[in-house]
Amino acid sequence: MDELDIDPSAMRAMAHAVVERLIDHLATLDTQPARGDLTNSEALSAALREPPPETGSELEALLAPLFDDWVHRSFNAPGPGYLAYIPGGGIFPAGLGELIAAGLNRYTGVWNAAPAFLQLEANVLDWFRTWLEYPPSARGLLTSGGSLATFSAIVTAREALLGTRLREGVLYASTEAHHSVTKVARLAGILDDRVRVLATDAAMRLDVQALDQAIAADRKAGLVPFMVVSSGGTTNTGAVDPLEEIADVCARESLWHHCDAAYGGFFYMCPELRPLLAGLPRADSITLDPHKGLFLPYGTGALLVKDGEALRRAHRGTAGYLPTFPDTQLYNPCEYGPELSRPFRGLPVWLPLKLFGAERFRAALREKRELALRAYAALEHVAGIHRLEPPALSLFPFYLSWPGASLAEENEATQTLMERVCARDRVMITGAPVKERYLGRICVLCFRTHQDRIDACIEDIALESAALTTPKR
């Protein structure tokens, strides 16, 4: 027997040990600290550095520190109190899907190698297309996250609209666009001096008038405006750009409209919530993150492109060792993205969707939005808290204020408030600087978060804001 092979009884014992540990951990998420113990993190990292192992270890000796120590030294992102950044959650059946996919280890770069499995992945993308009211001509790709989805969107737009005039092309986004937009634009050949970062309005949405003016100025300068990246839910404040108006501008100016809906796109699954993202189906391409709105494990992103052939033309390639693909109805991932070798990303999405059904995901999304609205309403009665716009989806910002306070004092107090609330270990919330103000944020998107945790969050904010502002009044 190969020395790297393991007999079936040993495999069963190893799998049992791992799954038991994992289930025990997940079963206590609601009692674990919301943020995790991040003290002495540099010392922890230094202590874990080691040379390559020459001999093996027992599995239990490896699992014990992983589950008993190291996992608690990280953000508790799957926990019900995680209201920071953009939560995911990581539903358990998706983890089973990843285990199956890695264990089966089938090659999914080309259709010919695993036709049934790739059809399952194609089905998932078609479900996304249906939920977002995209036409049958649309095609897409499952990626490792929103950044690479946006990268492929920019490459597709570049190939479709610029051709060899790469250096003249100009891309437009707002100051609230995700940081990956400028990063992957550069990787796609659109350098920083050809990316226009435009102002936002009072609601932190892309200013359409500023967009119009920037396009006109660039055309006058002999440049080639080719793409606008809008946001279907920004990370800092949850704002949804005016997608209909941006679509009108892009149609009039013959620009590619890409909507980064990594956070908010799946709210469009719910018919009654579609007005919150009005105009989304008009975008030429859309970034989605199933590891956000579908509560899947991190590392699950997606891209949809309305003109599927444009996506294919931008990414297809050939070599003598590759099979031919005569039927474009067959899903060949290597023709729709930069990867040839890739994991079987479709199974961890397909399995939970088939197991639960779409309506259970819709119900969870509805609940998260309702919880955010309740949290926003409850903060109205907390002294010292100033709220901005109500949640466009399930995220909203706020800050601490009191009579006579300077902006610098309010910013410092708001940052301190975030830290004090997190230190109570019932919820984790984070803030972000936006324009000149530091804003606190509440983002409700973990499927384990329910009303009791929102109540705890509001209670902790109220207690700490009173402690921070009472002496100052």
CB atoms within 10 A of CB 37: 14
Per-residue model confidence (pLDDT) at position 471: 65
Close Cβ partners of 242 (under 8 Å, ≥ 6 residues apart) = 205, 206, 208, 279
CA distance 18 to 4: 19
**Rounded alpha-carbon distances, angstroms, from residue 404 to 189, 397, 409:** 49, 21, 10
Token pair of 371 as six digits: 């919880």
Amino acid found at 391: P
Per-residue model confidence (pLDDT) at position 322: 85
Domains of the chain, by residue range, sit at 99-356, 359-472
Per-residue model confidence (pLDDT) at position 264: 98
Per-residue model confidence (pLDDT) at position 330: 85
Amino acid found at 417: L
Q: Judge residue 339's burial from the number of C-beta atoms within 10 Å of its C-beta, 0-12 exposed, 13-18 middle, 19 or more buried.
A: middle
Token pair of 239 as six digits: 């704002």
Per-residue model confidence (pLDDT) at position 1: 46
CA distance 434 to 441: 11
Biggest CA pair distance of the chain: 77
CA distance 112 to 118: 9
CA distance 411 to 429: 16
Can you name the CATH fold of 359-472?
Aspartate Aminotransferase, domain 1 (3.90.1150)
Amino acid found at 214: A
Q: Does domain 99-356 have CATH number 3.40.50.300?
A: no
CA distance 353 to 250: 34
- Helix-helix angle 358-379:451-469, to 10 degrees: 20
Alpha helices in 71-193 (DSSP H): 92-104, 115-131, 146-161, 179-187
Are 395 and 238 in contact by the 8 Å Cβ rule? The answer is yes
- pLDDT tens per residue, the chain (473 residues)? 468 999 999 999 999 999 999 999 999 999 999 999 999 999 999 999 999 999 999 999 999 999 999 999 999 999 999 999 999 889 999 999 999 999 999 999 999 999 999 999 999 999 999 999 999 999 999 999 999 999 999 999 999 999 999 999 999 999 999 999 999 999 999 999 999 999 999 999 999 999 999 999 999 999 999 999 999 999 999 999 999 999 999 999 999 999 999 999 999 999 999 999 999 999 999 999 999 999 999 999 999 999 999 999 999 888 888 887 766 678 999 999 999 999 999 999 999 999 999 999 999 999 999 999 999 999 999 999 999 999 999 999 999 999 999 999 999 999 999 999 999 999 999 999 999 999 999 999 999 999 999 999 999 999 999 999 976 55
Q: Between β-strands 256-260 and 285-288, what pairing exists: parallel, antiparallel or unpaired?
A: parallel
Per-residue model confidence (pLDDT) at position 324: 79
Per-residue model confidence (pLDDT) at position 5: 92
Per-residue model confidence (pLDDT) at position 470: 79
- Helix-helix angle 358-379:347-356, to 10 degrees: 90
CB atoms within 10 A of CB 95: 18
Amino acid found at 365: L
Among 254, 208, 206, smallest CA distance to 227 is for 254
